Amino acid sequence: MQHNSESMLKKDIGTIVAMSIVIGSVIGSGIFMKPGKVIVASGDSTMALWAWVLGGIITLASGLTIVELATQIPKTGGLYVYLEEVYGKLWGYLCGWVQTLIYGPAIIAALGLYFGSLVAHFFGWGPEAKMYVGLSAIIFLAIVNSIGTKYGGFVQTLATAGKLIPIALIAIFGIWQGDGQILNMTSGVTEKTGMAAAILATLWAYDGWLLVGFVAGEMKNPAKILPRAIIIGLSIVTVAYLSVNIAMMHVLPAAEIARLGENAAGTAATILFGGIGGKLISIGIMVSIFGCLNGKILTFPRVPLAMAERGQLPFSRLLAQVQPKLGTPIFATLSQVVIAVVMMFVADSERLSDIAIFAIYVFYIFAFVAVFLLRKKNSAASRIYSVPGYPIIPLVAIVGSVFIIVSTIFDNPTDTLFALLITVIGLPVYWVLNRKTMASANQEG
């Protein structure tokens, strides 16, 4: 499946297509789910808007930096492969371990809960319904993607339109018709967790930029097209996110957005477009999140599949199986879904999304530093792409990410220690599995 799509795309991806890949892979649920959380964390509407700007800057610097790594290491597997190549097998393994046990399942679980919450709110069901709806959506999409990737791809295409329409309508009509005060409006909540927590919440909305690197080998002129696609694509995303936030603040007081949380966008749409219009926009938002969830269930199992093929996970023989008739990694998909379902019962969507972003940013920092290490190691080699504004841009990515990680450890020690504990548990597992692999290799030898 993957080899086909790669050979088809290798002809020539231009700026427009590359840009749409950037925008499509980033915009998902965050813009509809996080405005309330960002306002609560930052304390008022002005600081909330700054959090969205700073989140955009960190993401832009991160995207521009990671692509140099992707072009230097043109192998499939993303972050997991980059770290393995630069730091050795153990670091690549730990990254894959965290993606398999925390990042992937936590994102699937959070999206399931967000989707369940919106559906329950839409139909006027009680809060307990959100869990059942979320679980049903995850199980349904896991089955769809296990039957065949083409069905998952169809859901994806449908959802792309679903997410752009509500963003455009809320942004345009909210700014045009709203008359509320935008700046310096308090969140109405006495305990604010600070700017780091606010930026962390925006980074959930900006996450997905790592996919940008996968497009590098599919262009005739990546040195020109890639930076252009990333800068324009992520700038459009940032402007879209700021516009939606300004529009919502124009329609609803900041304290009301904070109180409504994930239902704020739907409420703003109802005020702007009346009952039926609001419902249509709400359906668009639900389609967007459903598509986002589908995309994650389609792609995340590839990490445990790749690790299992190398014998790097418990039950590797089972997880590495691809169903011969359907051509899908059923057991790898099942592993992600089972962990996600457990997570849904032990934590809420906000905590899960924060844990996911914290866990992955620890490894992003290593990837950003790797750019400096590779330049030193391959100083004579020519590059098809170099980070513009080196070393400033990679340093912005590193400093921004370190600020988020350190602040999150202080703000939320319980969840961050949980994430770090799961990471550390990976070490003995790695050593045991490595010993087994060595022993079987010796026997065969």
104-138 pLDDT tens trace: 999 999 999 999 999 999 999 988 899 999 999 99
Please report whether residue 265 resides in a domain.
yes
Report whether 82 contacts 367 (CB < 8 A): yes
Please report whether residue 5 resides in a domain.
no
First-to-last C-alpha distance (Å) of the chain: 34
Report whether 415 contacts 393 (CB < 8 A): no
Find the CATH number of the domain harbouring 73: 1.20.1740.10
61-74 pLDDT tens trace: 999 999 898 888 87
SS3 (DSSP) at 404 = helix
The whole-number pLDDT of residue 4 equals 40
Radius of gyration of the chain (CA): 21
Please report whether residue 202 resides in a domain.
yes
pLDDT(378) > 60:
yes
312-336 pLDDT tens trace: 999 999 999 988 888 888 999 999 9
DSSP element (H, E) containing 103: none
Please report whether residue 4 resides in a domain.
no
* Alpha-carbon gap, residue 140 to 376, rounded angstroms: 48
The whole-number pLDDT of residue 250 equals 94
Residue 171: domain span = 12-436
Our count of domains for the chain comes to 1
Please report whether residue 60 resides in a domain.
yes
Q: How many CB atoms are closer than 10 A to CB 369?
A: 16
Please report whether residue 271 resides in a domain.
yes
Report whether 123 contacts 146 (CB < 8 A): no
Please report whether residue 7 resides in a domain.
no
Crossing angle of helices 195-206 and 35-42, rounded to 10°: 160
Question: In this structure, what are the phi and psi dihedrals at residue 154, rounded to the nearest 5 degrees?
Answer: -65, -45
- 152 pLDDT band, cuts 50/70/90, is low
154-163 pLDDT tens trace: 666 667 767 7
The whole-number pLDDT of residue 150 equals 66
* Alpha-carbon gap, residue 279 to 263, rounded angstroms: 12
The set of residues, in sequence order, having a beta carbon less than 8 Å from that of 125 and lying 6+ positions away, is 119
